[in-house]
Amino acid sequence: MSFDKTTIARISRLARIATTEAEQERLAGELGGILAWVEQLDEVDVEGVAPMTSVVEMNLKAREDVVSDGANAEGILKNAPRSAHGFFVVPKVVE
């Protein structure tokens, strides 16, 4: 599979990563190459083989239903470019 520039533009918009037309040209080639490399796996016959979900056979780790975190609004907001009255403040997003 290969990429055209429209697909690259669409992917970068979905990922919220700005790309120039020149970059899209270059990325189409690079991503196409990566995909072609991965696609070699298609040569392997995996009929009847269950997808591997973990290298080690183990179960999902679970947690008790107890409150053990939170109560740290100041810390949570510390990296926010802007905050007020305990809220994150972001550009207006409303339908």
Which residues would be at the binding site for another protein (CB under 8 A)? 13-14, 16, 53-54, 58-73, 76-77, 82, 84-95
- State how far the alpha carbon of 68 is from the alpha carbons of 26, 31, 63, in Å: 48, 43, 11
Q: Round to whole Å and give the CA distance between 37 and 90.
A: 41
Closer residue to another protein (CB): 40 or 53: 53
Residue 57 amino acid letter: E
Nearest to another protein of 36, 87 (CB atom): 87
Cβ closest to another protein, residue 5 vs residue 82: 82
